[in-house]
Chains A and B, each alone.
Chain A
Amino acid sequence: MSVLLDILSWLLLMAGSFFVVTGGIGLVRMPDFFTRLHPSGLVDTMGATLIVAGLVLQAEEWQVSVKLLLVLVFLYLTGPTATHAVAHAALVGGLKPWTKGKGKDQD
């Protein structure tokens, strides 16, 4: 049973690491600010969820699990708000989004 839990937790941690690194790569690779917002969300949601889930399976006391889940809740509450604040500030600040072609049918 414990071996099974270990394997499951390893898989979750590996998947979480994959998403964290992918988010970092996207942050460097994407062409402009607005497209970089999306890989950042990758780390905020999937990376954090999978890593915390993997750690919860390794926790020995219930308090540790509860604190890990609280970290996740706070990240979920603050992540989108911060992203929205930065995106809105950039838009108000006059940053033009990168588009593939001419940028038709936009408001």
Chain B
Amino acid sequence: MGGKLVHAISLYAALFGLWLLLSGFFEPFLLILALVCCAFVVAIAHRMDVIDHEGQPVHITWRLLTYLPWLAVQIVRANIDVARCTLSPGRPIDPILKWVPAGQRSDLGTVIYANSITLTPGTVSTSAEPGRIQVHALTRDGMAALEKGDMDARVRAVEG
């Protein structure tokens, strides 16, 4: 129950920060309006029962931030590969559809893994279940790189 309060506070802080960034006005009247509006939104979210560890993953935020730079490097590499496949004459592609194991313990971890797969061009997740993800890859190399399990292990580390 105490965890729920943490998620509500984190949602409130995120909403208020977003308001400040988007408005750019810092007059007291508008700030009070912002506080009231954010409280209203948090109340609605509480009523909808969507304030939980999946909407506000505060418990993995720091580990997630260390994972993102690695993911960015992978995205750049995959982009160059796919651009080469697209522009080279002929058809240097060999698509394959396959289930790969996903060793994450929670749904949130599986979703992060599936989204990372989709975010990397050349591999797209087409179905996700607890324990395994169906992936469509543009080339066999892309599928082989995924099956080495590097990304899987890193997302498991994010999960803690």
A→B interface (CB under 8 Å):
18-19, 22-23, 25-26, 29-31, 34-35, 37-39, 41-42, 45-46, 63, 66-67, 70, 76, 79-81, 83-84, 87-88, 90-91, 97-100, 105-107
Nearest A-chain residue to B80, judged by Cβ: A46
In the complex formed, the residue of B with least CB distance to A83 is B118
Question: For residues 94 through 127 of chain B, which have their beta carbon under 8 Å from a beta carbon of chain A?
Answer: 94-99, 114-115, 118-122, 124-127
Count the A-B residue pairs with Cβ separation under 8 angstroms: how many?
109
A7, B134: Cα distance in complex, Å: 43
**Interface pair B99/A107, CB less than 8 Å apart:** yes
CB contact under 8 A between A37 and B124, given known A22-B86, A26-B86, A81-B115: yes
Does more than half of chain A's interface fall in helix, strand or loop, or is it mixed?
A: helix
Which B residues contact A (CB, under 8 angstroms)? 18, 21-22, 24, 75-76, 79, 82-83, 85-87, 91, 93-99, 114-115, 118-122, 124-128, 134, 136, 138
In the complex formed, the residue of B with least CB distance to A32 is B95
Q: Which residue of B is nearest A79, CB measured?
A: B119
CB-CB nearest in chain B for A25 = B86
B119 touches which of A30, A41, A100, A107 (Cβ 8 Å): A41
Residues of B within 8 A of A81 (CB): 115
- Contact between chains at A35 and B138 (CB < 8 Å): yes
- Asked if A84 and B121 make an inter-chain contact with CB atoms under 8 angstroms apart, the answer reads no
Pair B94/A100 contact, Cβ less than 8 Å:
yes
Distance of B24 from chain A, by nearest CB (Å): 5
Complex: A18 Cα to B21 Cα, angstroms: 31
Question: Closest Cβ of chain B: how far from A14's Cβ, in Å?
Answer: 14
Known: A25-B87, A81-B115, A97-B136. A38 touches B121 (CB 8 A): yes
In the bound complex, how far is the Cα of B79 from the Cα of A87, in angstroms? 19
What is the distance, in angstroms, from A36's C-beta to the closest C-beta of chain B?
A: 10
Report yes or no: B91 in contact with A88, Cβ–Cβ below 8 A: no
Task: Flag if B21 contacts A70 (CB, 8 Å).
Answer: yes
CB-based nearest B residue for A87: B126
Bound-complex Cα distance A63 to B134 (A): 41
